[in-house]
Amino acid sequence: MVNLILFGPPGSGKGTQSANIIEKYGLLHLSTGDLLRKEIAESTPLGLEAQKFMNQGILVPDEVVIGMISSMLDANPEARGFIFDGFPRNTAQAEALDKLLTLKKAPISVVLSLEVPEDELIRRLLDRGKTSGRPDDANEAIVKNRIVEYHNKTAPVADHYAKFGKLKRVKGDGSIEATFELLSKELDELIGERV
């Protein structure tokens, strides 16, 4: 099983590249946001617990999210692997995820980090703001703040995986096709070793 985290700041192209990776490699998309909505809609015990926190305006605790990820892994034993989206967002979550995946004998195989210069991120997000209708993409101050927030809270997750030799930095400021070619090169090497 190949488990991968695609990583990068807002505007780095994670959504687009995730879709490309899923299509080419047949990995399952594991979005914690989608999982939360599904568990709540199905009124599962984890979903009901998550709803309680959300009703109070509190972030859903990591243990609940880890429980949902565990359920998803158990429900898809035949999966070729998963691409994690939106998780882990901090080092504590990365450590909790590592523990779970070690128990499942399916550790994170690689963390692919899309590296894009800040001025390019800002340009992309402001361009997207003109067409997406997302107010957080239309305001340059908010865009810059989201990038700072990413560097402060989420970028340390990359350092966590670098310690284990699992981090691969990929140049992400080229075209969608050029970036996907670089990601594919990393994945072809990895998946070639595992098949």
Active site residues: 14, 89, 128, 134, 146
Give the strands of the sheet with 81-85, arranged side by side.
28-31, 81-85, 2-7, 108-115, 167-171
The annotation status of 64 as a binding-site residue, yes or no, is no
The annotation status of 70 as a binding-site residue, yes or no, is no
The annotation status of 169 as a binding-site residue, yes or no, is no
The annotation status of 61 as a binding-site residue, yes or no, is no
Q: What single-letter amino acid sits at 87?
A: F
The annotation status of 7 as a binding-site residue, yes or no, is no
What is the residue whose two structure tokens read 């990068």?
8
The annotation status of 80 as a binding-site residue, yes or no, is no
Contacts of 152 (CB under 8 A, 6+ apart): none
The annotation status of 89 as a binding-site residue, yes or no, is yes
Contact (Cβ atoms closer than 8 angstroms) between residue 115 and residue 8? yes
> What whole-number distance in Å separates Cα of residue 126 and Cα of residue 10?
11
**What residues are designated binding site?**
11-16, 32, 37, 58-60, 86-89, 93, 128, 134, 146, 174
Binding-site annotation: residue ranges for ATP: 11-16, 128, 174
